């Protein structure tokens, strides 16, 4: 969120005055053909209007009418590990930033890096998602939209998010388990298969497919760039006035 | 965060035009004594300036110079249970709201009500405070200031908050253990003494007094209202331009 510095306000005021007074002088000169009087009128106008404009602004600042809260939305990416959630979410975030709306990116790995020991049991995951829900709520109260990417394998936690936040857009990033395993540059599927990682979604824990996702991205068919563009258009159409 | 509706912008534009054109007509009439020409000049000016003003605004919207991020602060209330943190923090929050800055209130009991089972061991408390630190960071990135009240009994967790956030103001709400126990309308001290609540700060867990608090409030000497006013003045002096 930005505010104007005093210097900027003054510079802007002066630059507008040049434009405005210039116009007045030209008009008066055109009508009456007297340059001296035209300039005098222009200068008098300048002094008067600086004061009047200031007063006019002050009065309007006190009027609440016509001010509208910016309506935030939440994009919730769900899908198997390595399905491509983070990649698409990052691309979408970049696109949304250009719209100049208050925006926050929340990714599972950042949160888990910051606060380790969250755990991967059903109960721990649900509690974790609830905390994220609270974070989104707090941000939304301040008109900040969010782009979240979490495996979020259980219906109950995705449903909880939907109940907690406004304008929720679930994006299901669909990829075959085989495809995700082939993309396993982190070696996490390998570790899960060997039992080194427990409760690993897709291997030793269930992924419950979303049934009410607003958008389904089939990563076998479209590229991350195309996916981000599809979601971006959906948001622009439905949530950006 | 608010934005102007189109209707408000138009209404504001029209109301300013009345003021501005009126001034021009009066000036031209005063100089030349011809009301018909004065009105014609005023009307011509109106049409021209609506277009010019619009263009002028558009150009300035593209200029980044002179826009400044709103600098957020964090007020961190610490003290024994029932020392009066929440009461003073609520009063301060009300005062700060009048300044029309982006602001969020974070209270221990709200977070713990929302996400139970956080626990009260040293490790669990520290992890909890770290999460709050992350929440403040995220809000600060969006220029939102925070008023937080947490027992936060350990130096290490308060130090962590200081390292994580910007413009941290620690307020130590000082009250004798006896005073807090007398105020025990919740019956929590009673339960702690009977061993029903474990790790209860002041009874079965330590409270490490802050040594670097920006503000110390002695609740035996000043009222909550006076305390809030003191902190409010401190913030206004140091963080509100």
Q: Are B20 and A52 in contact (CB < 8 Å)?
A: yes
Output the pLDDT for position B51: 78
SS (H, E, C) A81-122: CCCCHHHHHHHHHHHHHCCCCCEEEEEHHHHHHHCCCCCCCH
pLDDT tens-digit series, residues B119-164: 889 998 998 999 999 999 999 998 899 999 999 999 999 999 999 9
In chain B, which residues fall in CATH 3.40.50.300? 74-239
**Chain B residue with minimum CA distance to A130:** B115
Phi and psi at residue B131, to the nearest 5°? -65, -40
Phi and psi at residue A231, to the nearest 5°? -65, -40
Q: Is B162 on the interface with A (CB under 8 A)?
A: no
- B4 versus B140: which is more confidently predicted? B140
Output the pLDDT for position B2: 64
- ipTM value: 0.70
Q: Considering only A88-92, B49-53, B182-186, which range has the smallest mean pLDDT?
A: B49-53
Q: Which residues pair with B4 in a beta bridge?
A: A67
B101: pLDDT strictly greater than 90: no
Output the pLDDT for position A59: 79
In CATH terms, the fold of domain A74-239 is Rossmann fold (3.40.50)
Output the pLDDT for position A80: 95
Average pLDDT of chain B?
Answer: 89
- Partner B, chain A 106-145, Cβ-Cβ below 8 Å: 106, 111, 114-115, 117, 127, 130-131, 134-135, 138-139, 141-144
Q: Are A28 and B23 in contact (CB < 8 Å)?
A: no
Q: Are B12 and A60 in contact (CB < 8 Å)?
A: yes
Q: Is B23 on the interface with A (CB under 8 A)?
A: yes
Output the pLDDT for position A8: 79
pLDDT tens-digit series, residues B218-236: 999 999 999 999 999 999 9
pLDDT > 90: what percent of chain B? Answer: 51
Structure tokens at B28: 């031209």
Burial of B194 (0-12, 13-18, 19+ CB in 10 A): exposed
Contacts of A114 in chain B (CB under 8 A): 130, 134
Q: Is B58 on the interface with A (CB under 8 A)?
A: no
Structure tokens at B212: 């670097």
- A79 versus B241: which is more confidently predicted? A79
B4: pLDDT strictly greater than 70: no
Output the pLDDT for position A11: 80
Q: Are A5 and B56 in contact (CB < 8 Å)?
A: no
Output the pLDDT for position A162: 97
**What residue ranges of chain A have pLDDT lower than 70?**
1-4
pLDDT tens-digit series, residues B5-43: 777 777 877 888 888 888 888 888 888 888 888 888 888
**pLDDT (average), residues B201-216:** 94
**Chain A residue with minimum CA distance to B45:** A24
Q: Cα–Cα distance between A161 and A129 in angstroms, integer?
A: 8
């Amino acid at each position: 969120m930005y505010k104007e510095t005093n210097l900027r306000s003054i510079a802007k005021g002066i630059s507008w005055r040049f434009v405005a007074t210039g116009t007045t002088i030209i008009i008066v000169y055109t009508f009456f053909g007297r340059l001296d009087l035209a300039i005098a009128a222009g200068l008098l106008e300048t002094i008067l209007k600086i004061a009047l404009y200031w007063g006019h602004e002050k009065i309007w600042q006190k009027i609440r009418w016509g001010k509208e809260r910016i309506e935030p939305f939440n994009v919730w990416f769900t899908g198997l590990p390595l399905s491509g959630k983070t990649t698409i979410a990052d691309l979408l975030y970049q696109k949304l930033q250009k719209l100049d709306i208050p925006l926050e990116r929340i990714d599972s790995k950042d949160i888990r890096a910051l606060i380790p020991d969250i755990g991967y049991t059903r109960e721990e995951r649900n509690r974790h998602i609830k905390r994220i829900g609270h974070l989104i709520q707090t941000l939304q109260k301040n008109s900040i939209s969010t782009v979240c990417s979490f495996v979020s394998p259980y219906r109950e936690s995705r449903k909880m998010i939907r109940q907690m936040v406004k304008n929720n857009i679930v994006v299901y990033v669909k990829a075959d388990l085989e495809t995700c395993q082939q993309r396993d540059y982190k070696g996490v599927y390998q570790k899960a298969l060997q039992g080194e990682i427990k409760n690993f979604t897709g291997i030793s824990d269930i992924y419950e497919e979303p049934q009410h996702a607003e958008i389904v991205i089939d990563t076998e068919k479209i590229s991350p760039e195309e996916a981000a563009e599809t979601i971006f258009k959906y948001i622009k159409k439905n949530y950006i006035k």
